[in-house]
Copies of this chain bind each other. A is one copy, B any other.
Amino acid sequence: MIRCLKNPLTRTSHKAFDTMMDLKHYLQTYQETINNKILEFLNSDDHSSRVLQAMRYSISAGGKRIRPILALAAAEATHAPAPVLNVLPAACAIEMIHTYSLIHDDLPAMDDDALRRGKPTSHIQYDEATAILAGDALLTLAFEILSSPANPTRESLSRHLNVIHVLARAAGYQGMIQGQMQDIRAEGNKIDLETLIAMHSLKTGALIESAVVVGALFGSANPKKMQALRSYARQIGLAFQVIDDILNVSGDPEELGKAVGTDLDRGKNTFPGLMGMAEARAYAENLVQTALKALELFDNKADPLRGIARYIIDRKN
């Protein structure tokens, strides 16, 4: 446990965080910390539980942990005390909500994907019923974790309820679920850029934004800083999706861990499809610049957030 509590930025937090090497180290250290904590939450003596096995299978399938890292980085940017100690459980809960959404999105009735992160999707590895239940269970476990505050002060209790509220709204029928519904309904129908942006703001943007907000709730973010962080998150959330669409056209299936060209086959509306490849990349770069601008009022504790913004458009998977 003590190892988990070390700040991976110890060596870099007092100076500018501006090399990709620093970021790589930061991401890797936090990925490991998050992975360890997630497995701790999913540890049980009951090895016969098929649902638990399926939950572990999908959440251990090698995600980038961008959302929980964003929560931790936003906590650092807002000078939250002991981010890893205080924010890590909520960060893991966010990853569980994300993983549940992937399991359900991959189902035959939804996107019908057989491969995710280079491995068979849950309904292929197990079966549809197990995949539905494993998704349900990860969503529910997120709220079980979020309702266990580390200490019972009035401030901590209030913050935890606030965190639950923010995440439930972002993940719910006015957020992520609404986005997924719109995505499915739009398949095979031509939509315009504005509609595509609105759809992705819900489908992937809402949870990414809420991850940053959750982190900032543990720090001391005044309304102006909170607004800036929301703006940052909205831009990088959208940039993330634009790059996802680009990688689905021009990415390397091996590096991606999933098939490419599937959006086109499926008649999905995508940014490169609507704008062209070069325009889509320029758009993503523009979004990241706007995100970085939103962070101008933060000190170098926000450098990880800055690095993540750049990472999002440079990534290959």
Contact = CB atoms under 8 A, between A and B. Distances in A.
Nearest to A148: B165
A137 B52 CA distance: 22
B173 A137 contact: yes
A199 interface: no
A100 B95 CA distance: 22
Interface in A32-75: 44, 49-52, 55
B107 A173 contact: no
Contact of A132 (B49, B132, B168): B132
A133 interface: yes
Interface stretch (A80-88, A139-147, A285-293): A139-147
A128 B109 contact: yes
A127 B184 CA distance: 11
A136 B109 CA distance: 14
Task: Report, as a range, how many residues of chain A touch the other chain.
Answer: 35 or more
A132 B107 contact: yes
A173 B139 contact: no
Interface stretch (A175-183, A228-236, A249-257, A261-269): A175-183
A243 interface: no
Contact of A141 (B144, B168, B184): B168
B137 A109 contact: no
Interface string A143-168: 11011110010100110111011001
Contacts of A140: 139, 168, 171-173, 177
B128 A177 contact: no
A61 B98 CA distance: 30
A136 B50 contact: no
Contacts of A110: 129, 132
23 contacts: A50-B181, A51-B173, A51-B177, A51-B178, A55-B173, A100-B136, A107-B129, A109-B127, A110-B132, A132-B132, A133-B180, A136-B139, A137-B172, A137-B173, A137-B177, A140-B172, A141-B173, A144-B165, A146-B164, A148-B165, A154-B157, A160-B161, A164-B164
Interface of A: 44, 49-52, 55, 100, 104, 107, 109-110, 127-130, 132-133, 135-137, 139-141, 143-144, 146-149, 152, 154, 157-158, 160-162, 164-165, 168-169, 171-174, 177-178, 180-181, 184-185
Ranked nearest first, the 10 interchain pairs of A and B with the lowest CB-CB distance are: A109-B128, A144-B168, A157-B157, A137-B173, A147-B164, A147-B165, A140-B172, A154-B154, A143-B168, A109-B129
